[in-house]
Amino acid sequence: MTAMTAPLAAPGHIPVMLAEVLRMLAPRDGATYLDGTFGGGGYARAILAAARCTLWAIDRDPAAIRRGEALQAELRAAEGTCRLHMVEGGFGAMRALLDARGAPALDGVVMDLGLSSFQIDEGARGFSFRHDGPLDMRMGDTGPTAADIVNRADESDLADILYQYGEERLSRRVARAIVAARAQAPIRTTARLAEIIRSVVPGDRSGIDPATRSFQGLRIHVNDELGQIRAGLDQALDMLAPGGRLVVVAFHSLEDRLVKQAMHRAAGRLPGPSRHDPRSIQPPEQAPAYRLLTGRTLRPGDAETHANPRARSARLRAIERLPLADQSDTSHAERRS
Ligand SMILES: C[S@@+](CC[C@H](N)C(=O)[O-])C[C@H]1O[C@@H](n2cnc3c(N)ncnc32)[C@H](O)[C@@H]1O
């Protein structure tokens, strides 16, 4: 146990599947970990409390970095030193971000995808139709906002975004309504956009707000979330030291599909090789360098979803880089360690 004995509360965001994340990561003294999605620091606090380890933490949201700096000050006050290193940026560039700072090979990486409650609940961030605010939706503070997309994109591009990333079946109808509305006046707020969507998408028995899928689609597009996840997973797998573990919590099927594909590919578990996807062809003589720790996804228990309804769609997957003795291809692992 360390001087920081118990996870301190991270008000504003309840960490999802924390017990399962810790069980899969199994933090140990002297090891080095990366939290790719610091958010409210719930995982970070728990990892730092579980072992006398070093933790690197990335977030693209400057507000999350400020929370991390507050945690660094707490650690310094409690322990006289700081085992937490904060890095602002996208986890899709984790290799460059960590290499530039001289971080060693990683004994574990956690990624808790999507938004924090801080982001969802702050109307000014423009993520939610439940809180009126400017139509922003950026996790960081660079790049085009959702308002830029909604007011400038071609109708067919808009429809594609809503269909591909929001899985909105009525995407063409929604895109048409947006283009008609913006011809009258620019769409500037979350409430106005939600009103336009609701005017053409009927509610159903699920009780889910008709604007939900379109908002998800825009958010994913604005933040290039799927591109970040693809790049982040590949780099995390590659940066693991032998015996290191990657633990990922996803919240919807588009995210989880990428996690499943990346982990199954690394563990040599892809279904039969496809002529069309060169990545799926495994040289038969090369044994996989990773093993899956979760067969199917782990899901939160009833008690957790009852206490924290935002956890209900969470799915956890984990994978381990095999210790050197179990690997036939050790080139990268040897290079980094
Ligand atoms: C669900 S929250 C993480 C919560 C955290 N596990 C906790 O317990 O407090 C997700 C965080 O990841 C950040 N994030 C999402 N995508 C990111 C990316 N591509 N690069 C860096 N940070 C990202 C968000 O800004 C948000 O703060």
Q: Is 114 annotated as a binding residue?
A: no
* Ligand 1 midpoint to CA 12 (Å): 14
Query: Is there a single domain that holds both residue 137 and residue 171?
Result: yes
How high is the pLDDT of residue 280?
A: 53
Q: Is the CB of 40 under 6 A from ligand 1?
A: yes
Predicted local distance difference test score (pLDDT) of residue 274: 57
Residue nearest atom 3 of ligand 1, based on CA coordinates? 39
Q: Of 178, 195, 223, which residue is a domain's last?
A: 223
- Higher confidence at residue 277 or residue 241? 241
User: 90 and 42, same structural domain?
Assistant: yes
Q: Looking at the structure, do residues 2 and 104 belong to the same domain, yes or no?
A: yes
- Check whether residue 96 and residue 133 sit in a common domain: no
Does the pLDDT value for residue 262 go beyond 60?
A: yes
Q: Give 131's DSSP letter.
A: S
Per-residue pLDDT band at 281 (split at 50, 70, 90): low
Look-up of token digits 């090789």: 273
151 and 210 inside one domain = yes
Tokens of 211: 């604007």
Q: Are 248 and 156 part of one and the same domain?
A: no
Domain-embedded: residue 335: no
Determine if residue 59 is labeled as part of a ligand binding site: yes
- Please name every residue paired with 321 in a beta bridge, in sequence order, or none if there are none: 290
The reported pLDDT for the residue numbered 337 is 34
> Do residues 147 and 198 share a domain?
yes
Q: Which amino acid is at 298?
A: L
Please check if 42 is assigned to a binding site: yes
β 32-35/54-59 pair status: parallel
The reply to whether 153 and 197 lie within a common domain is yes
pLDDT of residue 16: 97
Per-residue model confidence (pLDDT) at position 160? 98
Q: Are residues 88 and 30 in the same domain?
A: yes
Query: Which residues 6+ apart lie within 8 Å of 65 measured at CB?
Result: 38, 59, 86, 88
In this structure, are 95 and 202 located in the same domain?
Answer: no
Q: Quick one: pLDDT band at residue 206, thresholds 50, 70, 90?
A: confident
In a domain, 216, yes or no: yes
**Mutual angle of helices 155-166 and 212-222, in 10-degree steps:** 100
Q: Decide if 213 is inside a domain.
A: yes
Q: What does the pLDDT average to over 72-89? A: 96
Q: How far is the CA of 85 from the centre of ligand 1 (A)?
A: 16
Residue 104 has, within 13 A of its CA and on its CB side, a CA count of 14
pTM (two decimals)? 0.90
Q: Is residue 167 in a domain?
A: yes
Lowest mean pLDDT among 54-58, 110-114, 115-119, 281-285: 281-285
User: The domain spanning residue 25 has which CATH number?
Assistant: 3.40.50.150
Residue 267 domain flag? no
Per the domain annotation, does 158 fall within a domain? Answer: yes
CATH number at residue 163: 1.10.150.170
Q: What is the pLDDT of residue 324?
A: 81
Mean pLDDT of 211-236: 97
Query: Does 7 have pLDDT greater than 60?
Result: no
Beta bridge partners of residue 191, listed in sequence order:
none
What's residue 5's pLDDT? 46
Residues 41 and 106 in one domain: yes
Mean pLDDT of the chain: 90
Q: Is residue 193 one of the residues assigned to a domain?
A: yes
Range of the structural domain that residue 213 is part of: 120-223
Q: Which atom of ligand 1 is nearest to the CA of 42?
A: 8
| CB 302, CB 312: distance < 8 Å | no
- pLDDT recorded at residue 6: 42
CA distances from 8 to 5, 81, 307 (A): 9, 18, 18
H or E stretch including 58?
strand 54-59
8 pLDDT more than 60:
no
Q: What is the pLDDT of residues 299-315, one digit of tens each?
A: 999 999 999 999 999 99
